[in-house]
Structure formats: C-alpha cells, structure tokens
Structure 1
Amino acid sequence: MATSDLATAMQRAARVLQRRPATGIHDDAPATAHWQAGTRVVASHANGTQVLTDMPGELGGGGDQVTPGWLFRASLASCLATRIAMGAAAEGIELGRLEVLASSRSDTRGLLGMTDAAGAPVSAEPSDVHLRVRIAAPGVPPQRLRTLVEDSHRHSPIPAAVEHAVPVDLRIDIDAS
C-alpha cells in the first residue's frame, strides 16, 4: 500500500472513531496453539494462517522451527515497525528504510522451574528487552524521525503491553479422559 493510501485509510478510521469511539473497542483475533508432540506446537489464526514452533535440541525439541520466545520478539519488532510506518504515512514521510531489531536476555533455568543458588525461583520472563530502530527518510531531519519513532513506540500495542505488564487471566478446562 502506498504511503498516501495508508494515510487515507488511517484518516478515514480516525474520523469514524471520533464520531463513534466505542467502535474502536473490539476483541482481538485469538491465537490457538495445538500441541503436536514433544515441544512442537502449531499456533493458528481463524483465517487459516499457521505458525509452527519448537524448542532447540538442547531442550528436547527438533531445533528446526522458531521458538515461542522468538515469536514474542518478532511481534515486538513487527508491531513497532508497523506503527512507525503508519505514523510516517500520517505525517507524509516517505520512508527509505525501516528496520526494527528486537532482542532480549533470558535465563533458561526459569523455563525449567529451577531455583538460583540461594533457593529463590529463577524468573521465566526475559530480564531485559531491547528494541533498535534503523530508519531513513530522504530530506527528513533526524530529530523529526526520532520523534516519529518515539511517538510510534508509545502507541504500539505489543511494546505497550510488555512495558505496562498487562495482567493475564488464566482459565483451565480439563477434559474427561
């Protein structure tokens, strides 16, 4: 989609939301994960898209698919890149380059339910997450691009969910054997 087409679509959506704010509140498309075997899982979208995950061989997986942790980082990176592209279109900025790298650092002991030397549980979540944006737009001052990225980051749903620690409601249904 061309920058102007994206900007037009966003303006149209904003007009609708200004008139009827409640139309912006919606249930997001669910992701359903089905265990296949070992550590192999297939995540599915209602539109038929499927993503296969597995763990590395060192953790009992085949090592030939992306891990769920990588999907987490991919969602951070792609969500921010999408929001930056949307923000650029809204401002009439023609991007020449946009790349978002998401990285994190984790302790596998947390995944395995282990404790540290003092006997405290090791946390399973990443200890830190980093987003690095490379951006270029011919004729656009660096400060304007920096502001675009910072504003986009504040309005990017996945990074915001991580930064604000959205609570997770866990429900368990047990089928009869």
Structure 2
Amino acid sequence: MSMERIATALDRVSAALRRKPQAGIHDDAAATARWDGGLRTRVLHDAGHELLTDMPAEIGGEDGAPTPGWFMRAGLASCAVTRIAMAAAAEGIRLETLEARASSRSDTRGMLLIPEADGSAVPAQPLEIALHVRIGAPGVPAERLRTLVEWTARCSPVGCTVEQPMPLALHVDVAS
C-alpha cells in the first residue's frame, strides 16, 4: 500500500473514532498455541495464519523454529516499524530506510526455577530489552526523524505492553 493510501486510511479511521470513541475498543485476534510434541508448538490465528516455535537443543528442543521469546522480540520490532511507518505516512514523510532491531538479555535459570546462590529468585523475563531503530528519509532533518520515532514509541501497542506490563489473567481448564 502506498504511503498516501495509508495516510488516507489513517485519516478516515481517526475521524470515525473521534466521532465514536467507543468503536475503537475491540477484542484482538487470539493466538492459540498447541503442543506439537517435544518442545515445539504450533500457534494458530483465527484467520488461518500459523507459526511454529521450538527451543534450543541445549534444553531439550530440536532448534527447528524460533523460540517464543524471539517472537516477542519480533513483535516488538515489527510493531515499532509499523507504527513509525504509519506516523511517517500521516506526516507525508517519504521513508527510504526503516528497520528496528529488538534485542534482550536473559538468564535461563529463571525459566528453570533455579535460584541464585542466596536462594533469591532469578527472573524468568529478560533482564534487559532494547530497541534500536534505523531510519532515513531524504530531505528530512535528523531531529525530526528522531522525534517521530520517540513519539511513536508512546503509542506502539507491543512496545507499551513491554514497557508497562499489566497483570496476566490466567485461566486453567483441565481436560479429561
């Protein structure tokens, strides 16, 4: 889709949501993960899309697909790029370069419930996470592009979820 078509679509949706704010509230598409044997999962989208996950051989997986954590980082990076492209389209900026690299540092002991030597818990989530954005647009000052990226970070759904987590509502159904 061209940047002009994106800008037009965003204007149309924004105008509609200003008139009827409640129309913006909706259920997001669910992700259903099914065990595929070993440490593999098959994750299904209601529209038929699917992805596979696996774990590294060192912890019992077959290393046949990216890990669930990698998909979390992929979601962070792709959401950032998507939101920046939306903002650039809305402002009439013609991007030439746009990429985001999400990285993290983790301690596997947390996932395996192995405590520190003093008995304290090791976090299961990443110890740190970073997002590096590379952006370029001919004739657009670097400061304007920096501001665009920083501004969109405040309204990137995945980025906001990572930065400001909310409680997870866990429901368990035991199959018979």
Q: Which TM bucket (shorter chain)?
A: over 0.9
Number of residue equivalences: 176
Superposed structure 1 runs of 4+ greater than 2 Å apart? none
- Matching of residues 99-114 of structure 1 within 5 Å: 99-114=99-114
CA RMSD of aligned residues (A): 0.5
Deviation string 1:125-176 (CA, Å, 9 cap, x unpaired) is 0011000000000000001000100011111000101111121100101112
Cα distance in 2 for residues equivalent to 1:86 and 1:124: 33
Provide the residue aligned with 1:135 in structure 2: 135
Instruction: State the AA in 1 paired with 2:66.
Output: V
Shift of 1:41: 0.3
In structure 2, give the amino acid aligned to 1:175: A
How high is the TM-score relative to the length of structure 2?
A: 0.99
**Which structure 2 residue ranges, 5 or more long, are not aligned?**
none
Describe the superposition over 1:34-74 as per-residue Cα deviations: whole angstroms up to 9, x where unpaired: 00111000101011111000000001000121000000000
Give SS of 2:36's match.
Answer: strand
> What letter is aligned with 1:141?
P
SS of equivalent residue, structure 2 residue 63: coil
Q: Deviations over 1:57-113 (max 9, x none)?
A: 001000121000000000000000000000000000000000100000000001111
Q: Which amino acid aligns with 1:162?
A: V
Q: Deviations over 1:15-35 (max 9, x none)?
A: 100000000000000000000
Cα distance between partner residues in 1 of 2:93 and 2:30: 33
Question: AA paired with 1:161?
Answer: T
Aligned to 1:81: 81
Aligned mates of 1:93, 1:11 — CA distance in 2: 15
TM-score (norm 1): 0.98
- How do residues 1-177 of structure 1 correspond to structure 2 at under 5 angstroms? 1-176=1-176
What is the identity, as a one-letter code, of the residue corresponding to 1:21?
Answer: P
